[in-house]
């Protein structure tokens, strides 16, 4: 009886190990593209997927700028990456996407101090439906509006360094997402509404990448939306305390580690020959179609226009981002 139970347990563990390494962990980026002489900016690069992405790109020789909210954690992450990669060009710069003022100050500082921008990775994200200091839904501002403004302000530098790339870390959570233009930017309360806000923002990410690609056609600046898989990160740090033990157990068993979650970001940042797929959606280092409502070009165009209005930007961009800095 004991022997049978042990054999059954061994079989289950073996099946789990196979499932984890062959399905849950996802595909690895296998290219060896070097990035020496290139500058990469990663939002939220102090932890999780962003930090794992930064480490890989630092090992390829890139100059890495970690744009993060917490100075101590950002500087600590930069130190860790420098030590692990042997690359001393890994720096922290302060950026809080929940503050549009912070985004503008960051962009001005970056443009004054950094002559190059070759790869811009919109990685930072939050799953919280609270209110930002600007009065917007926190998840929608951090995951979409803040990045929209950041990209707008830095686009001129990307164009000067073309061919260059812009990556948007989205999610398969866009499936239940909805873009209700009257309410998508408004704060909400409660766990379920906060999760819905997160899904809405991830849908916005994919629609944004589609519209941005249309507007950048012919500029040699390409963009890609990315689903990193289900990953053990701190994005759900705001969930209720009573839910955390269940989440951490489930995520430990069935979610990818941050290195696994970073692979598609690394792929889209480095893989040669994918320029023709600008604006498209990548999963496990492969091109994939998102859900149909994420392919609606009319909604994508309107989302762009509404985002411009919410941010107080002139309509019809991209415009000269450098000119916007004087209008703070």
- Per-residue model confidence (pLDDT) at position 128: 83
User: What pTM value is reported for the model?
Assistant: 0.88
- Tell me the pLDDT tens digit for each residue of 104-130: 999 999 999 999 999 999 999 998 879
Asked if residue 217 belongs to a domain, the reply is: yes
Least confident of 8-12, 137-141, 193-197, 308-312: 8-12
Asked if residue 7 belongs to a domain, the reply is: no
Of 16, 20, 198, 267, which residue is the catalytic one?
A: 198
Asked if residue 15 belongs to a domain, the reply is: no
- Tell me the pLDDT tens digit for each residue of 61-104: 999 999 999 999 999 999 999 999 999 999 999 999 999 999 99
What average pLDDT does the segment 134-152 reach?
A: 98
Q: CA–CA separation, 229 vs 171, rounded Å?
A: 7
Asked if residue 24 belongs to a domain, the reply is: no
Residue 58 · residue 45 · CB < 8 Å: no
- Tell me the pLDDT tens digit for each residue of 153-201: 999 999 999 999 999 999 999 999 999 999 999 999 988 899 999 999 9
Band the pLDDT of 247: cuts 50, 70, 90. low
Asked if residue 151 belongs to a domain, the reply is: yes
Among 213, 179, 199, 206, residue whose Cα is nearest residue 302:
179
| Host domain of residue 149 | 32-325
CA distance to 82, 144, 315, per residue, from 322 (Å): 31, 21, 16
| Number of structural domains found in the chain | 1
Asked if residue 16 belongs to a domain, the reply is: no
Catalytic status, residue 16? no
Exposed, middle or buried by CB within 10 Å (0-12, 13-18, 19+), for 41?
Answer: buried
What average pLDDT does the segment 52-66 reach?
A: 98
CATH number, domain of 172, equals: 3.40.50.720
Asked if residue 202 belongs to a domain, the reply is: yes
Asked if residue 107 belongs to a domain, the reply is: yes
In degrees and rounded to multiples of 5, residue 226 shows phi and psi of: -135, 135
- Tell me the pLDDT tens digit for each residue of 16-49: 444 444 455 679 999 999 999 999 999 999 999 9
Cβ–Cβ contacts within 10 Å for residue 186, how many? 14
């Amino acid at each position: 009886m004991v022997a049978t139970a042990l054999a059954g347990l061994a079989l289950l563990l073996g099946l789990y190990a196979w499932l984890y390494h062959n399905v849950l962990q996802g595909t690895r980026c296998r290219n060896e593209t070097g990035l020496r002489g290139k500058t990469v900016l990663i939002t939220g690069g102090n932890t999780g997927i962003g930090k794992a992405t930064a480490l890989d790109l630092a090992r390829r020789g890139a100059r890495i700028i970690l744009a993060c909210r917490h100075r101590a954690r950002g500087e600590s992450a930069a130190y860790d990456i420098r030590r692990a990669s042997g690359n001393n060009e890994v720096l922290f710069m302060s950026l809080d996407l929940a503050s549009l003022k912070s985004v503008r100050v960051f962009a001005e500082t970056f443009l004054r101090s950094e002559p190059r921008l070759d790869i811009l990775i919109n990685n930072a994200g939050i799953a919280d439906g609270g209110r930002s200091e600007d009065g917007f839904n926190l998840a929608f501002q951090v995951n979409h509006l803040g990045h929209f403004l950041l990209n707008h302000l830095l686009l001129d530098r990307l164009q000067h360094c073309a061919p260059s790339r812009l990556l948007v870390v989205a999610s398969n959570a866009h499936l239940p997402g909805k873009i209700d233009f009257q309410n998508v930017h408004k704060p909400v309360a409660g766990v379920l509404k906060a999760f819905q806000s997160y899904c809405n923002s991830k849908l916005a990410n994919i629609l944004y990448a589609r519209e941005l690609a249309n507007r950048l056609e012919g500029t040699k600046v390409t963009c890609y939306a990315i689903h990193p898989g289900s990953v053990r990160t701190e994005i759900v740090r705001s969930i209720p305390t009573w839910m955390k033990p269940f989440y951490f157990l489930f995520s430990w068993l069935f979610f990818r580690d941050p290195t696994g979650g970073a692979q598609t970001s690394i792929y889209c940042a480095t893989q040669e020959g994918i320029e023709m797929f600008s604006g498209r959606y990548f999963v496990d280092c492969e091109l994939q179609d998102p859900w149909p409502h994420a392919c609606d070009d009319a909604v994508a165009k309107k989302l762009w226009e509404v985002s411009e209005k919410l941010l107080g930007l002139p309509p019809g961009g991209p415009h000269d981002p450098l000119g916007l800095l004087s209008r703070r």
